[in-house]
Chains A and B, each alone.
Chain A
């Protein structure tokens, strides 16, 4: 059993050798799981309702230089209804949106990023839709890379700005960069 883990680790290390700096055009994929804390703008039974959300983003077009990086992202999010409490529950919904994302590399391992986007949202159970905006700030930790790939762990803090609710999301995710032109690298 332990040998299997060692082999897996060796395989991952071979695919993603560490400490290779990668620059150039890239595509990306991100998956995040978050807690979704909704603060209502109306008088509710409790100050905030707790739900959970999962999101996936595809970076259609991105460019990374030594320190800065920017990307256009298409993303999907699914938020659950809130935990049972009282005489009401907030409704769950699915979102699709676009965002612009930029990050600044602090050192070989860590970068800070910010993201701003807008999305349309569809409630799960009822046929109603609404528009919203979102802002995200976070840190990303480089786990592995080679001249063609990078894998980060992300720690995003997001604001979901809805008309009747502002939600704070705290999560953890993985982000993968693919450099199709294999530019740079040492």
Chain B
């Protein structure tokens, strides 16, 4: 009996220090595909902050990669003004892709990552634009009357179907983006509505959790999401998606813009590690600090909803950058 207890205690001691004696995997390269549209070339409402989102995320992700000693490969896909194509062509691996954010070009850009990335790389995909409550987003139109709606799921499927290696973070700054959150086999989202019955049902459900290599971070749950003017004092305003403004602040960016070379460890990092959760927590606090976009609970306005970001993932959090 005494031997058994000693054996058990030794086993626990050895296993509980796995983190101390096993070699940590290296962080890989960082790839980013950033999409933004102002909708001036079709009939949808113009958005003023989306192109700023793309431009500034490109700078900040580049600096984050540099600060964590990773190589950075960033590609911006912008629909700007009335044109239906872009003057920019990206060379992704061996593929040339036009930077106009049509669904075909986005598909091509993701496909071009095949054989470029490995398991330790980080692939970021961001989208700033319109989204609908049927789980679609509005990509680059081919004519004024073209709404160019594509299901978010189609884009998520590209990463799976093309077998893109690496950890992926899909960031969606659009209305109703939470409706595109992948369902987790182990746990249920409480913002989108679930009860104790669902939690127990999921426990017994015949589904298996696998360590996710794709996380989805969304600007809202099942509601609208908003833009914010970060510089309302002057006539030429500086807009961003409220969610992306929080994301940029979490990464150490702001308005007026700091010198990119001064960006160090971002404020959202904890113990010099930036994870999906630390980023999400920071953005959540940032949005709650803006009551204009988040009506406070009021007994007279019980049905009033607020912009509430969401994140997928279940039992595990994913490391984005180590500094």
**Chain A interface residues (CB < 8 Å from chain B):** 35, 37, 40-50, 81-91, 120, 122-123, 125-132, 162-165, 168, 170
Contacts and interface: CB of A to CB of B under 8 A. Distances in A.
Contact of B315 (A83, A86, A90): A90
B201 to A, nearest CB: 9
Interface string B282-317: 000000000000000000000000000011011111
Given A87-B167, A162-B186, A131 B277 contact: no
Contacts of A82: 19
A91 B185 contact: no
A168 B271 CA distance: 26
Contacts of B208: 41-42
Given A85-B24, A132-B203, A42 B210 contact: yes
A50 B186 contact: no
Contact of B18 (A47, A123, A162): A47
B280 A131 contact: no
A137 B207 CA distance: 30
Contact of A128 (B184, B203, B278, B319): B184
B199 A89 contact: no
A168 B200 CA distance: 21
Interface string B206-220: 001111000000000
Given A126-B280, A126-B311, A163-B209, A85 B19 contact: yes
Contacts of A164: 185-186, 209, 314-315
A163 B186 contact: yes
B16 interface: yes
A85 B164 CA distance: 24
Contacts of A45: 25
A24 B244 CA distance: 61
Interface stretch (B37-45, B108-116, B190-198): B190-198
Contacts of B191: 127
A164 B278 CA distance: 22
B167 A163 contact: no
Given A125-B280, A164-B315, A87 B120 contact: yes
Given A50-B17, A120-B196, A170-B12, A86 B313 contact: no
B315 A87 contact: no
B186 A130 contact: yes
Contacts of B281: 125
A164 B210 CA distance: 8
Given A90-B315, A123-B187, A162-B315, 6 more contacts: A49-B18, A50-B19, A85-B19, A128-B188, A129-B188, A164-B186
A164 B211 CA distance: 10
B189 A48 contact: no
B87 interface: no
Contact of A81 (B12, B120, B317): B317
B67 interface: no
